[in-house]
Amino acid sequence: MDNLNKYLNYWKKRIDSALKRYLASSDNLSEVIYKAIRYAVFPGGKRFRPILTVTSAEICGIDPNKVLPTACAVELIHSYSLVHDDLPSMDNDDYRRDKLTVHRKFNEGMAILTGDALLTKAFELIAENSKITGISEKKIVEVIKIVSNASGADGMVGGQVADTFLVSKTHTDKLVNYIHSHKTAALIKASVLAGAVLAGGSEKEINALKNYGEKIGFAFQIADDMFDVKKDRVNYSDIYGTKKSERDTNRLIDEAKKSLEVFGSKKEILSLLADYVVTRKN
Ligand code: GRG
């Protein structure tokens, strides 16, 4: 656990300093939006998604620093989703990570635009990643496809729509599964895959990481539901109870770790990150 904490702190610092570089404004007028963007991104949370991206790149054989722009991109997409999720028309939250939410600190229009700017900046950063030696434009196009699909109507936005507008008092298992796998697991899985694709992982490695990302992503949302029962939201532990939630997260984490066998002894950090999904405190 000590090793994992050191690893998480090391990468959180590197990701934060890369984000600081990418989120600097170039003049006084754009500083207005960049100020709101930085407010949304710093000090930030666990940086779990970008840490997955650098780790899967490394396990597939390249220097993880080479995928930092893409790692930061997935964090920006995550940040955008939180800013928009907090809006009065969605979850209507006043606080996030013990700070006023973006619409409460600035105003609603600025919060919408901040989310828009975060999402578009993410794709600018993925494109920028092609400037790094060894990262071909072909790989970049593949990553753009993976990340946009996971974020949009067939991924996170689709999951959010189902969670916000399709939920009634009676939840079918199919709907609960759809919400968890789209709202949360899709971006987590894409964060893992992006690193692997940029690293040029083999088909076998990519398939293993697809399965890993899907399982830890689903487990991540069940664990989140066990921490926090939110009004008007589908909550796994509320619906199925704590016992089943614990059983399901443990099974998913075991299955995720099994899919790492293909990496032999290199699998250690991804395996610890899978455990972290359920042992984390927030
Ligand atoms: C608005 C398009 C759109 C989507 C919103 C992400 C999301 C979908 C809603 C936020 C609320 C929520 C419970 C989302 C599930 C994803 C999740 C568990 C977010 C929290 O992620 P962490 O724990 O947060 O990685 P930190 O603070 O560490 O970054």
Domain residue ranges of the chain, discontinuous segments joined by +: 2-279
Domain 2-279: which CATH class? mainly alpha
Per-residue pLDDT tens digits for 169-205:
667 899 999 999 999 999 999 999 999 999 999 999 9
Check whether 81 has a pLDDT greater than 80: yes
- Give, for ligand 1, the residue of 76, 224, 228, 234 to mutate: max count of ligand atoms closer than 8 Å to Cβ: 224
Closest residue CA from atom 13 of ligand 1: 224
For residues 199 and 57, the answer to whether their CB atoms sit within 8 Å is yes
Q: Where are the alpha helices (DSSP H) in the chain?
A: 2-22, 31-41, 48-59, 68-85, 102-105, 108-128, 137-151, 156-165, 173-180, 186-198, 203-227, 236-240, 242-258, 268-279
Distance CA 195, CA 178 (A): 25
Check whether 33 has a pLDDT greater than 90: yes
Q: Read off the tokens for 13.
A: 């610092």
Give the mean model confidence (pLDDT) for residues 216-223: 96
**Is any atom of ligand 1 closer than 6 Å to the C-beta of 180?**
no
| Predicted local distance difference test score (pLDDT) of residue 97 | 97
| Predicted local distance difference test score (pLDDT) of residue 281 | 84
Give the mean model confidence (pLDDT) for residues 91-103: 97
Nearest of 8, 36, 9 to residue 23 by alpha carbon:
36
- With a pLDDT cut of 90, the percent of the chain lying above it is 90
| Predicted local distance difference test score (pLDDT) of residue 170 | 66
Distance CA 119, CA 72 (A): 11
Q: Quick check: helix, strand or coil at residue 65? A: helix
Q: Sort strands 99-100 and 95-96 into parallel, antiparallel or unpaired.
A: antiparallel
For residues 70 and 197, the answer to whether their CB atoms sit within 8 Å is no
For residues 280 and 223, the answer to whether their CB atoms sit within 8 Å is yes
Distance CA 156, CA 85 (A): 11
Q: Which amino acid is at 199?
A: A
Tell me which DSSP letter residue 132 carries. S
Nearest of 213, 81, 66 to residue 139 by alpha carbon:
66
Q: Which atom of ligand 1 has the smallest separation from the CA of 280? A: 23
Distance CA 257, CA 235 (A): 25
Distance CA 19, CA 75 (A): 9
To 10 degrees, the CA torsion angle through 106, 109, 115, 116? Answer: -140
For residues 66 and 198, the answer to whether their CB atoms sit within 8 Å is yes
Residues sharing a CB contact under 8 Å with residue 30, sequence separation 6 or more, in sequence order: none
**Is any atom of ligand 1 closer than 6 Å to the C-beta of 157?**
yes
Per-residue pLDDT tens digits for 225-248:
998 766 678 889 989 999 999 999
Distance CA 270, CA 58 (A): 10
| Predicted local distance difference test score (pLDDT) of residue 228 | 76
Q: Read off the tokens for 157.
A: 């936005």
**Ligand 1 geometric centre to CA of 172 (Å):** 22
| Predicted local distance difference test score (pLDDT) of residue 169 | 62
In the block, tokens 């080479």 appear at: 66
Distance CA 143, CA 200 (A): 11
Q: Read off the tokens for 223.
A: 């664990």
Q: Which atom of ligand 1 has the smallest separation from the CA of 86? A: 10
**Ligand 1 geometric centre to CA of 168 (Å):** 21
**Is any atom of ligand 1 closer than 6 Å to the C-beta of 46?**
yes
Q: Read off the tokens for 93.
A: 């939250």
Q: Which atom of ligand 1 has the smallest separation from the CA of 84? A: 1
In the block, tokens 């007028």 appear at: 29
| Predicted local distance difference test score (pLDDT) of residue 232 | 72
